A = this chain, B = another copy of it.
């Protein structure tokens, strides 16, 4: 794997919520504030017209040192099959960037109140995008049995 020159990321904001340690599940109802850098407040204008947004965040607690396993049990559940890292959403990846689609409850200046963001308090946010049905969604997606049976 090649390091990409000039790709050091900037924190455009930070997650604030009550979750201090990663949860295995139960994120659906977690409310979070995304506190965006105040220099970027204007760049949020119009986002509040979207009901949902895509948040990219840096999973700063993921194990980035050492050798990553090629295969993992999804969500650490031993009863699920061992599959390739990229067939899972494990945070321990070559680039630990998380992607969540969340409901935007409201915006107040540089603060976005969202529901369902699976990131702990203090997580750096690296991008925010509007969720666009059709472009971001698929109607006929197929997944393996271990996903539906989990």
Contacts and interface: CB of A to CB of B under 8 A. Distances in A.
A52 B54 CA distance: 17
B135 A101 contact: yes
A49 interface: yes
A65 to B, nearest CB: 10
Interface of A: 1-12, 37, 39-40, 42-47, 49-52, 54, 56, 58, 64, 68, 70-71, 81, 83-89, 93-95, 97, 99, 101, 103, 124, 126-133, 135-138, 140-144, 147
Contact of A143 (B7, B50, B83, B147): B50
Contacts of A132: 89, 143, 147
Nearest to A36: B86
Contacts of A140: 51
28 contacts: A2-B11, A4-B9, A4-B124, A5-B8, A7-B7, A9-B9, A12-B95, A45-B70, A45-B84, A50-B144, A51-B141, A51-B143, A52-B138, A52-B141, A52-B142, A56-B97, A56-B99, A88-B130, A89-B129, A97-B126, A99-B99, A99-B136, A131-B143, A132-B143, A133-B138, A133-B143, A137-B137, A137-B141
